[in-house]
Amino acid sequence: MAPKGLTAYLKGSREAYIDEQCFNAGLSTLNSDKRNVSLNYISTMINISTMKIKNTIKVFPVIAIGLLLAACSKKTTTHPTSPISLKTSYTLNSVGLYPESIDYDNKNHRFIVGSFNKGTVSTLNTNGDLSSFISDNKLVTVTGVYADSPRNRLIVLSGDIGSSEKSAPNGKSGGSVAYAGIYNLTTGTLIKGIDLKSLTPNAGALPNDATVDQAGNIYVTDSFSPLIYKIDAGYTASVFVTDSRFSAPAGSFGLNGIVVDPDGYLLVTKTDNGKLFKISLTNPKSFTEVSGFSSASPDALEWNSNRDLVVVENGLGAGKVYTLTSKDNWGSTTKLAELTIGKEAFPTSATLVEQKDIYVLATTKLGLFLGGDKTQTNFIIQKLVQ
């Protein structure tokens, strides 16, 4: 079988498309001596602690490479035969859409767009064509979308902000919904619907963003309750961690953007007081605040292709995008770049596209929506250039 560290990396990576079956098919064609040599070689080339391939190149039996590639070439691959052509900017012409979250579906080469107002999910292809994808009555205010390409599933988060099209009149339903829908990434068919509100019976809830670890566990922030949910690979939900330091004043947003690092921790933003937390996957109660972080209203997080951290500051702040790095495993951080998009544009989300470029949901006009305007159109996704 493939080395444990390698298969964990491949299965857990949103960018990986070679699977364990393909890997083992190639190895099975080798005799036992050459197979052992191949496995030993590959194991030495994987840095298990960082899950990164070392730069050093050593001699590998040519026959092993040929047989591994031959076995994998027999499988259908999701890589395109020619490079995907992407525009630098996309305009979503849809009255009242008010998108708040985006992600990129590397398997089907399209953007996934969640509507804050309509409670729907759309797709946007690389030509700029917007299409309806998921309409589910359980989705009221779509706050987060996560395209888990290796597992061919789409994670959609919904709360109720109290002012969406499906909300009760006069904002009476605000904070009453906490739902995670798991859908087939290709077809949009519901796989599993998960009620998270039962985990916050005495408080308001607003699940906001999601990430997935290498084992397939889903972690979800909540902006109205001071906690992070965990949904395991069998779709059982629990409270992963809760703490009073995650609390936010009534009417404001607390925990928000979230990403997982292969070294075994989460990075999470807190919008109301501009903090960034580092939370261990094995000992979450011992979380720490990342020093050197500064943002007036941090929202989404995303890793870029260099493994630097992209932070979107929404329009409750100045509407900026920061690129950050760390030299001490995110005990602290320093800023590499900063781009101002604008407060009125109200950027909220970012995604890595084709494992190369960051695209930002730059114009959502959510400030107008929160002020009661439901008529806006022309929302913009744009390539990040810093």
pLDDT of residue 324: 98
CA dist 219 → 126, 251, 360 (Å): 29, 23, 22
C-alpha span between 310 and 300 (Å, rounded): 8
Count CB neighbours of 201 within 10 A: 7
Number of residues written out for the chain: 386
pLDDT of residue 81: 57
Cβ atoms of 147 and 123 closer than 8 Å: no
**Domain ranges (residues) in the chain:** 4-73, 89-383
Q: CA 51 from chain center: how many Å?
A: 19
Count CB neighbours of 186 within 10 A: 13
pLDDT of residue 14: 54
Query: 89-383, what's its fold?
Result: Neuraminidase (2.120.10)
pLDDT digits (tens, 9 = 90+) for 118-129: 999 999 999 999
pLDDT digits (tens, 9 = 90+) for 233-283: 999 999 999 999 999 999 999 999 999 999 999 999 999 999 999 999 999
Q: What is the mean pLDDT of each run of 10 residues along the chain (386 residues)?
A: 38 45 44 41 41 39 42 45 88 98 98 98 98 98 98 98 96 96 98 98 96 98 98 98 97 97 97 98 98 98 98 98 98 98 98 97 97 96 94
Q: Tokens for 147?
A: 């395209």
Residue whose tokens read 């992963």:
240
C-alpha span between 207 and 230 (Å, rounded): 11
CA angle centred on 301, ends 252 and 84, rounded to 5°: 135
Residue whose tokens read 């391939």:
53
DSSP H or E run through 106? none
Q: Tokens for 134?
A: 């998921």
Q: Of the candidates 379, 383, 385, which has an alpha carbon nearest to the alpha carbon of residue 94?
A: 379
